[in-house]
């Protein structure tokens, strides 16, 4: 069995050979079904999703149906994990944005008093494991209200969404609010991610390289890189990083304090960056769990347990 996590920007698949990440933006004409078809021959698939929210769909229900249909073309017996913590065989509202719950459902079995920070390309899931039944049915809107979902990530957050100025040539300079640069550019030049981790499209559609990222960052103050130099562009990256770091770490501490949760388990492509800052455990380096595809790994494991124990998946 393979585990599949269909996000709005990335398709993540976990099988016996490891993690496979495909850039697959659902707000454009996607090749979701085609990519999944390359995994034909596996016994079955267990699936979670969050891509139904992509604005290529008029409603979340439309997105759910699109994703389910794409999977069923290759895996007609696929099972889909829902926000009700149950598996389903067809499209239904419970499938919307259930990927985080699959991760919690798996980790809570070993760490019942712990919590999770899963920070990926787009969002940060910050969820305590205690009182799991209270989490069942919690939509992303409710999670935003509870502080369990912080909408910032390592790749796709616009720089101007979190930071508004940086010191350029000794002068505090406001940022433009255009989508000139993203969090991926900032993290790349600061050394938090490498070429392989920068898997999403760049704001200008150009390459991923240190110079290209610096050029995009310079655009935040309406400049060419030659005008403000590498130092100026790095100040822009650092301004964004300071804002994002404070936002995520503050949210983690609030949830940890409110829930009395321990330990903190950190997943996502930002795990190695945020685990030391939050005093958390990096799931990949410490436990061997593929942090960069935690929901896909989790839904595969949960389905496997049910299959071995009850023969119902």
Residue 287: pLDDT band (50, 70, 90) is: confident
Residue 206: pLDDT band (50, 70, 90) is: very high
Per-residue model confidence (pLDDT) at position 69: 97
255 vs 144, 147, 276, CA distance in Å? Answer: 12, 7, 17
Per-residue model confidence (pLDDT) at position 28: 79
Per-residue model confidence (pLDDT) at position 37: 97
The yes-or-no verdict on residue 311 having pLDDT over 70 is no
Q: In this structure, how many other beta carbons lie within 10 angstroms of the beta carbon of residue 202?
A: 19
Pairing of strands 281-282, 264-267: parallel
The yes-or-no verdict on residue 127 having pLDDT over 80 is yes
Q: Quick check: 155 and 200 in contact, CB under 8 A?
A: yes
292-302 pLDDT tens trace: 899 999 999 99
Per-residue model confidence (pLDDT) at position 304: 87
Residue 288: pLDDT band (50, 70, 90) is: confident
Q: Is the pTM of this model over 0.85?
A: yes
Q: In this structure, how many other beta carbons lie within 10 angstroms of the beta carbon of residue 95?
A: 28
Residue 27: pLDDT band (50, 70, 90) is: confident
The CA-to-CA distance between both ends of the chain, in Å, stands at 10
The yes-or-no verdict on residue 306 having pLDDT over 90 is no
For residues 243-248, average pLDDT? 98
For residues 249-259, average pLDDT? 97
User: How much of the chain exceeds pLDDT 70, in percent?
Assistant: 98
Angle at the Cα of 71 (from 61 to 143), degrees rounded to 5? Answer: 45
The yes-or-no verdict on residue 172 having pLDDT over 70 is yes
Per-residue model confidence (pLDDT) at position 307: 65
The yes-or-no verdict on residue 312 having pLDDT over 70 is no
Query: How far apart, in whole angstroms, are the C-alpha atoms of residue 6 and residue 13?
Result: 9
Please report the beta strands in the chain, taking only residues with DSSP state E, as ranges in sequence order.
2-6, 10-15, 18-23, 45-49, 79-81, 87-88, 115-119, 124-128, 149-150, 165-168, 171-174, 264-267, 281-282
Token look-up 């910032």 returns: 152
Per-residue model confidence (pLDDT) at position 271: 95
């Amino acid at each position: 069995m393979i585990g599949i996590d269909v996000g709005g920007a990335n398709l993540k698949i976990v099988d016996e050979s490891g993690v496979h990440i495909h850039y697959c933006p659902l707000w454009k004409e996607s090749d979701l079904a085609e990519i999944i078809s390359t995994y034909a021959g596996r016994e079955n698939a267990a699936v979670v999703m969050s891509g139904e929210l992509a604005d290529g769909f008029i409603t979340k229900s439309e997105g759910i149906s699109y994703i389910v249909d794409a999977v069923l073309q290759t895996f007609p017996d696929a099972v889909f994990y829902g926000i009700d913590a149950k598996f389903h065989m067809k499209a239904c509202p419970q499938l919307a944005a259930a990927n985080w719950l699959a991760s919690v459902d798996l980790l809570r079995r070993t760490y019942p008093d712990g919590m999770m920070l899963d920070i990926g390309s787009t969002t940060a899931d910050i969820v305590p494991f205690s009182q799991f039944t209270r989490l069942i049915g919690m939509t992303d809107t409710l999670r935003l209200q509870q502080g369990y979902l912080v909408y910032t990530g390592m790749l796709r957050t616009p720089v101007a969404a979190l930071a508004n100025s940086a010191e350029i040539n000794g002068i505090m300079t406001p940022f433009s609010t255009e989508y000139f640069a993203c969090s991926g550019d900032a993290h790349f030049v600061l050394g938090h991610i490498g070429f392989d981790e920068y898997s999403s499209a760049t704001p200008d559609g150009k390459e991923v390289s240190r110079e290209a990222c610096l050029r995009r960052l310079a655009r935040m103050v309406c400049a060419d890189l030659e005008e403000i130099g590498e130092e100026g562009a790095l100040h822009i990256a650092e301004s964004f990083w300071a804002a994002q770091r404070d936002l995520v770490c503050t949210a983690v501490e609030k949830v940890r304090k409110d829930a009395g949760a321990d330990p903190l388990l950190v997943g996502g492509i930002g795990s190695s960056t945020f685990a030391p800052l939050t005093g958390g455990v990096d799931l990949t380096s410490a436990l061997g769990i593929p942090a960069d595809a935690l929901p896909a790994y989790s839904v595969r494991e949960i389905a496997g347990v049910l299959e071995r124990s009850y023969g119902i998946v």
